[in-house]
Amino acid sequence: MATLKIDINTSPVGTPDLVTFFIKGSALPAGVPSGEFDGALCSTVLLRDKTQRTLVVGLGDKEKLEPDSFRRAAGAAIKHLLKIGSSDIALELFSHADYVGAAVEGAILASYKFEGFGKDPSKKTRAILTHLQVLIEEHEVTNARLQANQAEIISTVTNTIREIGNLPGNMLTPAILAEKAQELIQDRALTIKVWNERHLERDGFGGILAVGQGSVHPPRLIVLEYKGGGKKDAPVALVGKAVTFDTGGISIKPGAQMDEMKFDKMGGLAVLGIMLAAADLKLPLNLVALIPSAENMPGPDAYRPGDIITTRDGKTVEVLNTDAEGRIILADAIAHARLTYKPSAILEYSTLTGAVIMALGHRRAGLFTSELKLRDALVAAGKTVGELVWPMPIDEEYRENVLSEIATAKNTSFREGSACSSASFVKLWAEDVPFVHIDIAGTAWTTKPPAYLEGGATGFGVRLMVQALKAGLTV
């Protein structure tokens, strides 16, 4: 990815293209033909004179103004300008100092595009953003610089995660994911440990091994540590599902849209992104991230319906459907987090169920926890960053659904309420450690992106959790 320089000043350096944000109902800027532009959110009008291009972008109604208005409007403006060849762009944020972070996030997120692997590089349809300027009042420069720095760190990490997320299953196996994680922690205050098949066998990770055994690309467990807090402070454990491709295994999925199952790794990638951001932001706390990764394939040695698997803490799983694989690898990782790191909380991201999409659609992720403080903190953080989560139940009623006659739990039960019973299954492995499950099946990738994203991996969850951790997440 090309390097981006960001400057915060009271007036532009050089001759960038300008972006002016416009609240619906205010006086139209000089030169805007009346009747052609009403300031609706993300609507744009381009003004040109001999030396200057200025893009006016709508923020929508004043009453509805929120950080996401700036994220979206900045995203729309950047996309528009990149398409017409700009690479040096200044955002005029006078009198909008509180929104500098959101605007810079929107700009950087919108500047990312998955180029793919087509043959002809000259077919590139837009410029690359190399210089982003923020224009602000003198007395807001320091404040704006702080916001812009943090926004840059978070959005850049998110774009890195999106790029890996968009890679297809043949280019991103569990071993390759582990290598990428290894590369990404270079020059960062993070440590990494990777379990290969032999190590997984030695340490009793029967769930990760079972899910991975049908594939010629063997599974991995990736564990990252970040120590920004006190020596004796218990870490927060982050766990993320990274199924590099989910065919369903022996309980194979139908063909339609199966290609989208390359995104079944986004929980693990979100967790990786949070760790990178935590290190770059030097957050004052301890974190451990556990990313179980496997490819779920049918094959001569694939696990099968009826199998009984022993997980890391001795609990057993009766497999009724090999397509409910995420919870099995998560069980191992969560047990390991609990037993090895004595965390103050376990926060887990996964593209766990199609059912959560039926319940909530694609705008909100399902938030499953009985911890009210964590719930409120995450709901609030989600609103701030524009990554919404919606509280869902995870009580005993659902747990009963997944109890098995012949094992600790069975990996599927009724269709009704299955997002909730799946969450309750995963929670069993956290035992009495405060636990949060966030089902990102509907939000991890998109075909209807907001103005600051494009179709494909969204990186959902990185901004959400970093915001919650910055705000001082307490149990």
Closest CA to 129 of 100, 106, 96: 106
What are the strands of the beta sheet with 308-310, ordered from one edge? 308-310, 316-318, 409-410
Least distance in angstroms from the C-beta of 441 to ligand BES: 4
- Would you say 65 or 359 has its CB closer to ligand BES? 359
What are the strands of the beta sheet with 17-23, ordered from one edge? 5-9, 131-135, 88-92, 17-23, 53-60, 44-48
Whether 342 sits among the annotated catalytic residues: the reply is: no
Single out the residue of 247, 293, 353, 369 in contact with ligand BES (rule: CB under 6 A): 353
439 binds Zn ion (CB under 5 A): no
Question: Which span (150-158, 320-328, 382-390, 425-433) binds Zn ion, by CB under 5 A?
Answer: 320-328
Q: Measured in Å, how far apart are the chain's first and last C-alpha atoms?
A: 38
Count of chain residues binding ligand BES (CB under 6 A): 13
In angstroms, the CA 263 to CA 246 distance is 9
CB 125 within 8 A of CB 84: no
Whether 327 sits among the annotated catalytic residues: the reply is: yes
- Would you say 53 or 327 has its CB closer to ligand BES? 327
Contact mark string toward ligand BES, 243..262, x via CB under 6 A: ---x----------------
Least distance in angstroms from the C-beta of 264 to ligand BES: 4
Which member of 253, 304, 363, 399 is catalytic? 253
Single out the residue of 130, 143, 321, 340 in contact with ligand BES (rule: CB under 6 A): 321
- To which residue do tokens 């103005």 refer? 451
Residue 163 contact partner, candidates Zn ion, ligand BES, Mn ion, none, CB within 5 to 8 A by sort of partner:
none
Residue 355 contact partner, candidates ligand BES, Mn ion, Zn ion, none, CB within 5 to 8 A by sort of partner:
ligand BES
In angstroms, the CA 464 to CA 385 distance is 6
246 binds Zn ion (CB under 5 A): yes
Which member of 53, 241, 327, 338 is catalytic? 327
In the three-class reduction of DSSP (H, G, I as helix; E, B as strand; rest coil), residue 438 is classed as strand
441 binds ligand BES (CB under 6 A): yes
* Torsion sign over Cα 413, 416, 420, 422: positive
Residues whose CB is less than 8 angstroms from the CB of residue 164 and which lie 6 or more positions away in sequence, other chains included = 172, 177, 180, 269, 457
Closest CA to 241 of 160, 321, 344, 353: 353
Contact mark string toward Zn ion, 263..292, x via CB under 5 A: -x----------------------------
Residues found near Mn ion in the complex (CB under 5 A): 246, 323, 325
- Report the site for ligand BES in 153-212 (rule: CB under 6 A): none
How many helices (H) and strands (E) in the chain? 13, 20
280 binds ligand BES (CB under 6 A): no
In angstroms, the CA 254 to CA 132 distance is 45
Task: List, by residue number, the catalytic residues.
Answer: 253, 327
- Interacting residues toward ligand BES by CB under 6 A: 246, 264, 321, 323-326, 351, 353-355, 412, 441
- Interacting residues toward Zn ion by CB under 5 A: 243, 246, 264, 326
